[in-house]
């Protein structure tokens, strides 16, 4: 992509109406646009980041046998009344409206009811189980106060996967497999070292559920962590009996702020009982399906990466989700020979399969370098008149500040790997 063709522009000042670092930097760098409180547009650069996060999630969910689908946001009241989650007394985050044809509909904030109803048409025997289905889809929650930038919004993307099992053994096997996949996802997003599989209450269906909490001073959650043992718990399980089962004492735990980036939990037969999702077991008896639910917010993960890894110059993207791998910054573009040479470097990098944002704008070097730092692309390659004369490119690694001087052959060899 040529930066001169990018309609978005960076801003010198952070937005005055944003408190969260992630929103400040993402708006300032032109990744997102705030349309209203709790609703953001993902601009071209921001969309590339989100799609890369989605790709990592898809790869890991497909890798454990999940199959992707897409369910509607519009919800009729019938199913939700069956599980007693339609009334505002029990669920107060609904967006609801009246249909012109009559009747009330809501905008889905989750999809357990819907997916359970769908599966009634496709599950009849124990031979149909186990399996898992997921979607990456827009959810809506009528939050009283949207906050924390793109991490707590009223309209947001969610990857929600649902597992369907014939018995507890099948369910636990998939639950543990999905937990391992979540660990891989957060490692690939660049925040794995600070993200803990955190023990939480499992409610009526299991001893524990699990949250994935990333330690961060910007976090709005609080967890209790034993770094030495790699154990984290939330306050729901901060009881001696629970801690003893986990092999940790209260004295070993340190209170830390954190951001919840994902969660997995058992649903038991709550939804299959209410909606009538059953199968015939090997004895021919009708039996309710055991379910699990597994969520990750791609935009929340994006905001967490920004909050955790940014420095005083701007965003610092891991290579895995950066919008581009290389930011090619051309200087002295008023010189036709230098401009044509820099264009050639851009074309050659693209032919090697390198994702490149090419700063071909006719602006001052200082402005270009400041924008490059703010955008946070992993590598900056500077093409300048002096560099051409010396036969060298300055290559700066954004995360570490390391500066290298490479010949053209070394440059192409380095980024073709």
Q: Summarize the confidence of residues 25-46 as an average pLDDT.
A: 96
pLDDT value at position 271? Answer: 97
Q: Please give the radius of gyration of the chain, using alpha carbons only, rounded to the nearest integer.
A: 25
- Asked if residue 319 is part of any domain, the answer here is no
How many folded domains does the chain comprise? 2
297/334 same-domain check? no
pLDDT value at position 93? Answer: 95
Alpha-carbon dihedral of residues 85, 179, 156, 112, nearest 10 degrees? -30
Q: Which of 137, 119, 23, 21 is nearest to 79 (CA)?
A: 119
Give backbone dihedrals phi and psi of 394, rounded to 5 degrees, phi first: -85, 125
Other C-beta atoms lying within 10 Å of the C-beta of residue 202: 16
Class of residue 128 by CB neighbours under 10 A (exposed 0-12, middle 13-18, buried 19+): middle
- Asked if residue 286 is part of any domain, the answer here is yes
Task: Count, in order, helices (H) and strands (E) of the chain.
Answer: 12, 21
pLDDT band at residue 405 under the 50/70/90 scheme: very high
pLDDT value at position 5? Answer: 95
- Asked if residue 101 is part of any domain, the answer here is yes
265/397 same-domain check? no
pLDDT band at residue 307 under the 50/70/90 scheme: very high
Give percent of the chain above pLDDT 90: 91
- Asked if residue 320 is part of any domain, the answer here is no
Domain region containing 331? 326-415
Residue 88 above 70 pLDDT?
yes
pLDDT digit string (tens) for 336-375? 999 999 999 999 999 999 999 999 999 999 999 999 999 9
126/251 same-domain check? yes
Other C-beta atoms lying within 10 Å of the C-beta of residue 115: 23
pLDDT value at position 305? Answer: 97
374: CATH: 3.40.50.800
pLDDT value at position 17? Answer: 87
pLDDT band at residue 158 under the 50/70/90 scheme: very high
End residue of a domain, out of 278, 309, 340: 309
Q: Summarize the confidence of residues 112-134 as an average pLDDT.
A: 98
- Asked if residue 304 is part of any domain, the answer here is yes
Distance CA 138, CA 183 (A): 23
pLDDT value at position 218? Answer: 85
The neighbouring-strand residues paired with 158 are 137
244/361 same-domain check? no
- Asked if residue 315 is part of any domain, the answer here is no
DSSP string, 133-194: EEEEEEEE---SS-BTGGGB-SEEEEEEEEEEESSHHHHHHHHHHHHHHHHHHHHHTT-GGG
Evaluated on CA atoms 38, 50, 106, 295, the torsion sign reads: negative
- Asked if residue 318 is part of any domain, the answer here is no
pLDDT value at position 417? Answer: 67
179/282 same-domain check? yes
Q: Summarize the confidence of residues 234-254 as an average pLDDT.
A: 93
228/124 same-domain check? yes
End residue of a domain, out of 283, 309, 335: 309
The neighbouring-strand residues paired with 56 are none
266/160 same-domain check? yes
Average pLDDT taken over every residue of the chain: 95
287/408 same-domain check? no
pLDDT value at position 223? Answer: 97
237/356 same-domain check? no
pLDDT value at position 146? Answer: 83
234/380 same-domain check? no
Q: Summarize the confidence of residues 244-273 as an average pLDDT.
A: 96
201: CATH: 3.30.930.10
pLDDT digit string (tens) for 177-230? 999 999 999 999 999 999 999 999 987 778 899 999 999 988 989 999 999 999
53/141 same-domain check? yes
- Asked if residue 76 is part of any domain, the answer here is yes
Q: Summarize the confidence of residues 144-167 as an average pLDDT.
A: 93
Residue 97 above 70 pLDDT?
yes
172/207 same-domain check? yes
End residue of a domain, out of 309, 344, 364: 309
């Amino acid at each position: 992509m040529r930066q001169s063709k990018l309609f978005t522009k960076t801003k010198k000042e952070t937005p005055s109406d944003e408190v969260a670092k992630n929103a400040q930097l993402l708006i300032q760098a032109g990744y997102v646009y705030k349309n209203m409180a709790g609703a953001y547009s993902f601009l071209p650069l921001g969309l590339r980041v989100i799609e890369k996060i989605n790709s990592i999630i898809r790869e890991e969910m497909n890798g454990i046998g999940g199959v992707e689908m897409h369910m509607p946001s519009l919800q009729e009241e019938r199913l939700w009344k069956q599980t007693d989650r339609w009334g505002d007394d029990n669920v107060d985050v609904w967006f609801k409206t009246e249909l012109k044809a009559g009747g009330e509909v809501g905008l889905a904030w989750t999809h357990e009811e819907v997916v359970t109803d769908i599966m009634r048409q496709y599950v009849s025997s124990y031979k149909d189980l186990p399996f898992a289905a997921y979607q990456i889809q827009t959810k809506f929650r009528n939050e009283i106060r949207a906050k924390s930038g793109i991490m707590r919004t009223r309209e947001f993307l969610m990857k929600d996967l649902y597992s369907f099992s014939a018995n507890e053994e099948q369910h636990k096997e998939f639950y543990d497999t999905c937990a391992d996949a979540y660990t891989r996802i957060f490692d690939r997003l660049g925040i794995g070292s600070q993200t803990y599989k955190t023990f939480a209450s499992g409610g009526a269906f299991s001893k524990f559920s699990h949250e994935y909490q990333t330690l961060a001073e910007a976090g709005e959650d609080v967890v209790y962590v034993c770094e030495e043992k790699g154990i984290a718990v939330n306050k729901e399980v901060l009881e001696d009996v629970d801690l003893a089962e986990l092999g940790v004492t209260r004295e070993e735990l340190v209170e830390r702020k954190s951001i919840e980036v994902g969660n997995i939990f058992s649903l038991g037969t709550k939804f299959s009982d209410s909606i009538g999702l059953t199968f015939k077991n090997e004895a021919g008896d009708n039996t309710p399906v055991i379910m699990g639910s597994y969520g990750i917010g791609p935009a929340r993960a994006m905001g967490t990466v920004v909050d955790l890894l940014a420095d005083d110059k701007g965003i610092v993207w891991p290579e895995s989700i950066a919008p581009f791998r290389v930011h090619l910054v051309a200087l002295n573009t008023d010189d036709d020979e230098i401009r044509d040479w820099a264009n050639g470097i851009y074309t050659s990098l693209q032919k090697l399969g390198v994702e490149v944002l090419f700063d071909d704008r006719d602006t001052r070097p200082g402005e270009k370098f400041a924008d490059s730092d703010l955008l946070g692309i992993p590598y900056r390659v500077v093409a300048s008149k002096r560099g051409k004369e010396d036969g060298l490119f300055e290559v700066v690694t954004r995360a570490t500040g390391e500066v290298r001087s490479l010949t053209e052959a070394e440059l192409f060899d380095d980024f073709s790997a």
